[in-house]
Amino acid sequence: MSVKENRIDAAEKKQLLEWVQRLEVEMRLVFGEDERRIKHALRVAAFAEELLEGEPADPYVVMAAAYLHDIGIHEAERKHGSAAGKYQEIEGPPIAEAILRKMGAPQGMVDEVCEIVAYHHSPGKVQTANFAVLWDSDWLVNLPDEHPNLSKEKLRKIIDAVFLTESGRRLACGIYLPDEGE
C-alpha cells in the first residue's frame, strides 16, 4: 500500500478523482486546441500523482498546481508576445484563481495554488512540499528538452542539483539513467 493510500480513504479518493477530472476539463477549456500545452499539463499531472505516493504533500493543491501551472501561457503570449516563464508567472495566477473559485476551492487552497503558479519557474521563492512536488513533476517532463544529449555524468549532476524531492530524483534517475540503478 502506498503512502497516498494510507493517507486517504475510498470516499476521499473518489472526491479527489472528481476534483482532478474537473481540473482537467477546466485546463482543456483554457488551452482549447493547443494540444502541446494540454499534453504537457497531463504529463506533469501524471508525474505529480506518482510523486504524491512518496511525498508528504496535499494532493488537492499539487494536482491543481500540476494542471494549472502553465495556464497563463496564452495570455503571456497575447500580452507580452512571449511564453517566457516570467510572463507565465504574471498571467497565470489570475486565471488559476478564477478556475479554482469556479470549482469552489477554499481560499487557502486558492492562495497556495496561485502562489505556486506565480513562482513555478522561480525555485526558492516557495519552499513547501507542494511546490517541490510540482517543481519535480514539471522537470520530469522538461528535462530531455532542457538538457538534451548530455553525458550520464552531467545528467546525474543536473538531476542532483535541480530536483527538490527524493522521490523526484529517484524517478528521474530511473527514467533518464536506467543503467545506474539508484
Give domain status of residue 169, yes or no. no
Domain for residue 54, yes or no?
Answer: yes
CA distances to 35, 56, 114, 154 from 133, rounded to whole Å, are 24, 9, 15, 23
Residue 8: C-alpha distances to residues 1, 122, 133 (Å): 12, 31, 18
Query: pTM of this prediction?
Result: 0.91
In a domain, 32, yes or no: yes
| Number of structural domains the chain divides into | 1
- Domain of 80 in residue numbering reads as 3-129
C-alpha span between 106 and 99 (Å, rounded):
12
Residue at 60 is within a domain: yes
Instruction: Compute the distance between CA of residue 85 and CA of residue 67 in angstroms, rounded to an integer.
Output: 16
Q: Is residue 7, in this structure, part of any structural domain at all? A: yes
pLDDT at 5: 44
Q: What is the pLDDT of residue 2?
A: 38
pLDDT for 182 equals 47
pLDDT mean for each 10 residues of the chain (182 residues):
54 92 98 97 97 95 98 96 94 98 97 96 87 97 90 93 96 89 49
Q: What is the pLDDT of residue 1?
A: 28
Whole-number Cα distances in Å, 92 to 12, 31, 57, 106: 28, 12, 22, 18
For residue 148, the model assigns a pLDDT of 86
pLDDT of residue 7: 61
